[in-house]
Amino acid sequence: MAAQRSKRACCYLRPAQSGCQRVIRTNLRYHRPDSLAAASDLLWSHRQDIAVLGGGTHLLPRMTRDQESVSHIVDLKALGLDGVNISANGVSIGSRVTYDQVLRHDALTRILPLLARVSHGVTGGRQVRNIGTLGGSACFAMPGSDMPGALVGLRSRFRIHGPTGFREVDSTDFFTSAFVNALEPGEFLHSFDILDIPTATGYHKIKHSAGSWPIATATAALWEGQRLEITLGGVQETPVRIDVTKVADQPEEFAAAIDAAITEPWDDVLAPGSYRRRVAAAAAKRALSELRRRVA
C-alpha cells in the first residue's frame, strides 16, 4: 500500500515524459453492472486489476500517462448513485453526483451552501464540473483536493457497499493517508450522509493562481450549541478538524490552535509543508470571516 501511495503522490502533478503516447495501452474490459451486488462481485473477483470509473477526470488521464494500469473498469452509472435525497433525517448525496448537479440543485445549495461554494470553485471549467463526481474526488483522496476537507468539515458519513452489504464510516476515518482511502477489496463508495446541518459555514482556499490546485483549504462550520470548527485540507495527508469555539475571538490563540493541529505538514511539488503550515491560519481566518458574514 505504501509503495502504491508514494508512486501516486510523486507522479500526480508531474508532466508526462516527453515522447509518451497519450493512449491507454492495456486491453481494457468495461463493465456496467445493474445491481449493487453485481458491482461488488466484480470488484471482488478482479480485486487486483480493477478500478471504479466515476467521471474519469483523475482516472483516465492517469491511465493514459501509465501512472495507473488495470484491465477492468467498472462504471457505476446504472446503480442510481447520482441522486440527492433530502429528508427530516438529513441529506444523502450519491457518490456519482457531479459538481454541476450540486450547483443546479436549489434545495441542496440552500441547505448546504458550502457544497455549492466548493463546487463553484473547482477549476478545470465546465468540463470538469459536468463530469467530475464528489465520490471520485473523495476516493482519490488527494490532500490538495477541495472536497475531502469540505466533507470532513460537514461531519459527513460515508456509505460503502461491499461483498457483504453496506457499512458506514465517518469521513475522518475514510481518509487514511495521502491518496489512500478506507475502501477494502470489493467495496465502492455508495453515498455521503450529512445528518446534522450546520447553522452557518464559510470556505477559503489558498492557491498559486486562479487555475491551480489548492495549497491549503479551510472549512468553517458553526453547529448547534455554538460549537465552531475549522477543517483544514491540503496541509496534511488527510483533513484535520479543529474545535475553535473557545479561541475564535482571540486572534493569537486562534492561530496557535490551527498551528498546533498540524502535526505532519504535507509536502508536494506545489508547496513545501512549511509553507502550507504558514498559510493555514490565514485560510482558517478567512473561512471564519466568511461564516460570520453569513451569520450577521
Ligand X SMILES: Cc1cc2nc3c(=O)[nH]c(=O)nc-3n(C[C@H](O)[C@H](O)[C@H](O)COP(=O)(O)OP(=O)(O)OC[C@H]3O[C@@H](n4cnc5c(N)ncnc54)[C@H](O)[C@@H]3O)c2cc1C
Minimum Å distance from CB 199 to ligand X?
25
Burial class (CB in 10 A: 0-12, 13-18, 19+), 237: buried
β-strand 72-75 against 29-31: which pairing, if any? parallel
> Does 133 sit near ligand X (CB under 6 A)?
yes
**Stretch of 6-14, 45-53, 104-112, 238-246 lying at the interface with ligand X (CB under 6 A):** 45-53
Least CB distance from residue 92 to ligand X, whole Å? 14
Taking every pair of C-alpha atoms in the chain, what is the biggest distance, in angstroms? 59
Q: Which stretch binds ligand X (CB under 6 A): 123-131, 164-172, 250-258, 262-270?
A: 123-131
Q: Calculate the alpha carbon distances from 230 to 120, 133, 176, 244, 293 in Å.
A: 20, 24, 19, 7, 16
Cβ–Cβ < 8 Å for 182, 162: no
254: cell is 486562534
User: How far, in Å, CA of 195 to CA of 247, rounded?
Assistant: 26
Note whether 171 binds ligand X by CB under 6 A: no
Residues 75-114 that bind ligand X (CB under 6 A): 76, 95
| Helical packing angle, 146-153 and 113-120, nearest 10° | 170
Q: Note whether 239 binds ligand X by CB under 6 A.
A: no
Among 33, 40, 42, 58, binds ligand X (CB under 6 A): 58
Segment contacting ligand X (CB under 6 A): 30-38, 145-153, 251-259, 266-274? 145-153
Contact map string, positions 177 to 216, toward ligand X, x by CB under 6 A = ------x----xx---------------------------
Question: Distance of CA 217 to CAs 129, 204, 231, 286, 290, Å?
Answer: 19, 6, 8, 10, 13
Structure-block grid coordinates of residue 265: 505538514
What is the nearest approach in angstroms of ligand X to the Cβ of residue 57?
Answer: 3
Give Cα 56 distance to the centre of its chain. 15
Indicate the residue whose CB is closest to ligand X: 136
CB of 68 to ligand X, least distance (A): 7
Q: According to CB under 6 A, which one of 63, 91, 108, 122 is a site residue for ligand X?
A: 122
Cβ atoms 216, 129 nearer than 8 A: no
From the list 27-35, 55-63, 255-263, 265-273, the region that binds ligand X by CB under 6 A is: 55-63
Binder of ligand X out of 97, 115, 146, 193 (CB under 6 A): 146
Binds ligand X (CB under 6 A): choice among 33, 55, 186, 198:
55
| Whether the Cβ atoms of residue 81 and residue 95 lie closer than 8 Å to each other | yes
The residue type found at 174 is F
**Which residues in this chain contact ligand X in the complex, by CB under 6 A?**
51-59, 76, 95, 122-124, 128, 132-133, 135-137, 139-140, 145-147, 183, 188-189
